[in-house]
Structure 1
């Protein structure tokens, strides 16, 4: 029987993309079957099934609407979620749902897509236990939001946001940026956060936070059968009141070859218990790093101002934009800007090539960064009033959806940078 609380779906959110503040939690491993009447609806469901938030769901689509659904379940068990489209009058729709209810297994949830914006119809659907009602036409994010929303109860703890930080090239300081952004998320935004060092052989998070934990991410990834929230919690090292570290062993006593899904269980456990997870992703292109970036809620690409970084950053951003069409485009930051006597590609040229302004421009300050690295401290601890510390605070707000990209001070490239911001 269909017995779940009705969730009002006629929201007014933009249809083409989620807002920066909106966080749609991924759905668990469920089966979803859709019975559509319009090809446009079938296309939207198909596209939703390819979205990263429904990556674990098995989505099947069939044309024929209510009639096809009733026929399909006469001799077959129902899936976790049924999506039904009906262009019929409200009385015909309700009669069809009554007939289908007798065929549904306990726990099956039903989403209805109809053509009538009618309060009386809403009430009847509520009474019959329909989980969600959407008014056609619907788009990809409508479907994603509706299905995922079934598994995010209003009183449940929010599912953690994953922020992936990756360098466009080795040696550009992506790890330093990731660690300082995570520190600022925890200290300045008072959000519980976990830094996860994914460079198991050469990771520096332990050094940067002056930590030497006996356990870390290697214990989890090499013992997948033991992974749950409690096990992962025991592996975390406390860095501050709101910040914990899942450290890399940074040893060479074994090789670290992983399958594409190796970190899925770890990330799922972290999502279930921590509001914000910052992933320090090493500069490599493997099945698991690709999957990690594609599955992240937000991505920050760190680049230095040279040609190789420009090419790599553009390749990364273009690929991730095309593969994550329902997500905000990746952000990028320029680091180590202003090295004396070094020819550099200007921020405006990066903005033109990437069709977007940098989220931050971090100057080359060897004294500050060197002192922080050698002392196992963050920039805010070494130079709390310096503009670089403020830059990391800004990135922390931006990556958690707390603010929009700030304006840079007026200068030679301001008009060009503003032009590309408006396109983002």
Structure 2
């Protein structure tokens, strides 16, 4: 995460609190920022809160951010003795006629490569033009929110001509055996098949992964080669590790062997995720049910998280813990999606879906009925649910889930007996 130095003092004017609220949709499209250093000088507590929010965002993971309480004069004083960072963000209430004069001491000590974003109080077009002409990178009129600041930084340091990044979607189960891997595999297959989009399914459960079995594959190489030799990782090496499962779906398989210990540091999978984002429009990550530095890091960095749970007490507790911690480590992102799986298993006591979801204060995106025959046949034959029975209600649920996690504007209307009917039946119980 970013290195943040908070120096809090009482400001004279607060930033509009409404702009400090979360606006996930406005930052979703932003690319991760490069490894840069940023110093922010804030005159108000509101602006300090905005910068703190920026520092907590996953897109700022590589940024070294320092937040200072002070004015333009404080910045000039600091940088008279130390070198300037890649970016300086300044908040000021100075009137337009005095602003350039106040900036002069700072300009005299700034490195030529240093960029400056100025946040002022006056909506003045001549002032804006004069500031840009004098080397200010951007001038924003206060009050501002986190998306405004993040967007301004991205406009300066992210190449607009760069290839778009792919979408990373992580699936994790609230408890072992709840079917998260099955959902991940069927969703990856569905995305590739429905939208003719290149998809990579990465099985991150190195000792016990099942993606190779579920797709009836036995690849000689896979994700372990990339994890244990990150210095070799490039597009060519990645292509050698991928196994083709269908026309548009490739598998980065787990070795599923116990010949070594699989203990990883927090950033172990970061190089893989970054190269997959540059080379695949969609990456589906099958994250094992465990909690460690590396799983926490993966879940913090992805675009979408899907939590799968079975309607019992242990799943409820674990799901609540997951939702709570992900809200903290992903403060500017959407709430993870919840899928209730194996609902209606005969003779098994269950928590009613409505009660389960009310306890989490989350609406499930899908409720999947228990069907031992359908899922068992698919698993034993190495095929996906839609390949076994494309007219099955569960196949329609997976289709709708594929639309949802890829950000499609509309989803297909559920057929009779699909998700809509299942929700209605459960509601009447």
For structure 1, which segment, 184-193 or 100-109, has the greater mean C-alpha deviation from structure 2 after superposition? 100-109
**Candidates 53, 57, 60, aligned match of 1:54:** 60
The corresponding residue for 1:228 is: 234
Over 3 Å counting, the alpha-carbon distance change for 1:308 and 1:332 in structure 2 is same
Tell me the SS of whatever aligns to 1:42: helix
**Do structure 1's residue 379 and structure 2's residue 392 form an aligned pair?**
no
The Cα shift of 1:345 comes to: 1.5
CA distance in 1, matches of 2:258, 2:287: 18
The corresponding residue for 1:362 is: 368
Tell me the SS of whatever aligns to 2:65: strand
For structure 1, which segment, 106-115 or 277-286, has the greater mean C-alpha deviation from structure 2 after superposition? 106-115
The corresponding residue for 2:255 is: 249
CA distance in 2, matches of 1:353, 1:139: 32
- Per-residue deviation, residues 233-273 of structure 1 (Å, max 9, x unmatched): 33222223332221111111111111122112221222222
CA distance in 1, matches of 2:80, 2:65: 20
Over 3 Å counting, the alpha-carbon distance change for 1:20 and 1:108 in structure 2 is closer
Cα RMSD of the aligned pairs, angstroms, is: 2.7
Over 3 Å counting, the alpha-carbon distance change for 1:13 and 1:66 in structure 2 is closer
| Gapped regions of structure 2 (runs ≥ 5) | 1-17, 414-418
Equivalent positions of 1:13-412 (< 5 A) are 15-19=21-25, 22-97=28-103, 100-403=106-409, 408-409=420-421, 411=424
Count of residue pairs brought into register by the alignment: 405
- Per-residue deviation, residues 154-192 of structure 1 (Å, max 9, x unmatched): 322122222111001101110010111112222223333
CA distance in 1, matches of 2:212, 2:192: 17
TM-score by length of structure 1 reads 0.87
TM-score by length of structure 2 reads 0.86
For structure 1, which segment, 52-61 or 180-189, has the greater mean C-alpha deviation from structure 2 after superposition? 180-189
Q: Contact (CA 8 Å) 1:111, 1:133: kept in 2 or not?
A: yes
The Cα shift of 1:21 comes to: 8.9
The corresponding residue for 2:5 is: none
Tell me the SS of whatever aligns to 1:134: strand
CA distance in 1, matches of 2:343, 2:426: 15
CA distance in 2, matches of 1:106, 1:18: 34
- Per-residue deviation, residues 351-388 of structure 1 (Å, max 9, x unmatched): 21010111101112222222222222222222222221
The Cα shift of 1:143 comes to: 2.9
CA distance in 2, matches of 1:193, 1:95: 55
Over 3 Å counting, the alpha-carbon distance change for 1:159 and 1:223 in structure 2 is same
Over 3 Å counting, the alpha-carbon distance change for 1:173 and 1:46 in structure 2 is same
Q: Contact (CA 8 Å) 2:56, 2:331: kept in 1 or not?
A: no
CA distance in 2, matches of 1:231, 1:91: 58
- Per-residue deviation, residues 398-423 of structure 1 (Å, max 9, x unmatched): 2222247999457376599xxxxxxx
Q: Contact (CA 8 Å) 1:141, 1:326: kept in 2 or not?
A: no
Q: Contact (CA 8 Å) 2:118, 2:136: kept in 1 or not?
A: yes
Q: Contact (CA 8 Å) 1:281, 1:289: kept in 2 or not?
A: yes
CA distance in 1, matches of 2:404, 2:133: 42
| Gapped regions of structure 1 (runs ≥ 5) | 1-11, 417-424
Over 3 Å counting, the alpha-carbon distance change for 1:300 and 1:84 in structure 2 is same
Q: Contact (CA 8 Å) 1:29, 1:58: kept in 2 or not?
A: yes
The Cα shift of 1:149 comes to: 4.3
